[in-house]
Structure 1
Amino acid sequence: MAVVSRYTIALHSLTFIAFMTQERDEFVISDRIANSVNTSPVFIRRILRMLAKAKLVVVQQGGKGAGWKLAKDPKKITLLEVYEAIVDKPLFELHHSPPNTHCQIGKSIQPVLNQIYNYTENTMKEQLRQTTISDLLNEMIFE
């Protein structure tokens, strides 16, 4: 099971914006972000609207200077904030219909899995909380 690819696209977009605006305060158009991601500007705008709702980016519409920029310093945007803005389901889900409660395994599996799933998701979120968009940008290799 993979975390939705929208999350990766969101991280890519935010890192691109951080890079493009690190020396100047300007807005980046969605076409430029889409070109870097190699997807459509419409898809990028959909993701950026989710990030705007979470107050991670701001938009300036219409005319010269239109586009997107980070709402705060990339050192202060954690990967967890992005995850919470983009991913709307838990990392792991239980059965869609209840298991057989007359079965030894069926009646016991969900509480056991819940414990493991909660621990795993909380551990992942703690790691995401410790990493920022600035950290991603600093790990990039530029030639």
Structure 2
Amino acid sequence: MIKSSLSTSLHIMTVLAMFSEEWISSRILAESININPVLVREELRVLKNAGLIQSKEGKNGGVKLIKSADQILLSDIFKAIKKEDHIFTLRTNSPDKTCKVGKKINTNLKSLYQEIDEAIYAKLNEVSLESFKNRF
């Protein structure tokens, strides 16, 4: 679910940018987003694996940005959560190969979906986390 993951990750990263000197717990992030802390921790794992955040265990632990918000682009966050998927997915069934549309639909959809992904990436590449944070 790229749509909800991007929303959740952008929310997390914006909070971390707002309070960049503090270690923020997954509980606080979950309260801000109003979702289960388990879902927040799943997104945190992805963001950490992408090298966008760091974590610290213990009573005073939590997460924080690994670099300043002006060095992080929204496209970095998108790339972290997107993996190899497209925004849209193909149906799991195989179309009729004898049909004029069916034999080429998946090839044409994959090409279209790649163009859509690239357009989204290009737009997000224009916005830093710092400038996004400053909208609040």
Corresponding position of 1:110: 106
Q: Structure 2: which amino acid aligns with 1:71?
A: I
User: 2:2, 2:26 → 1: CA distance?
Assistant: 23
Corresponding position of 1:51: 47
- Assess if the C-alpha contact under 8 Å between 1:11 and 1:82 holds in 2: yes
TM-score (norm 1): 0.84
TM-score (norm 2): 0.88
Aligned with 1:84 (options 79, 83, 94): 79
Q: Deviations over 1:77-118 (max 9, x none)?
A: 122211222234211222323211111111222233233222
User: 1:17, 1:103 → 2: CA distance?
Assistant: 52
Q: Bigger radius of gyration, 1 or 2?
A: 1
Corresponding position of 2:13: 14
Give the aligned CA root-mean-square deviation in angstroms.
1.7
Q: Deviations over 1:25-69 (max 9, x none)?
A: 231122221121112222212211111111100001013x31110
Q: Flag as ranges the 4+ runs of structure 1 deviating above 6 A.
A: none
Structure 2 unaligned regions, length at least 5: none
Aligned length: 135
Structure 2 counterparts to residues 13-32 of structure 1, below 5 A: 13-21=12-20, 25-32=21-28
- Assess if the C-alpha contact under 8 Å between 2:86 and 2:114 holds in 1: no
- Assess if the C-alpha contact under 8 Å between 1:4 and 1:87 holds in 2: no
User: 2:55, 2:120 → 1: CA distance?
Assistant: 30
Structure 1 unaligned regions, length at least 5: none
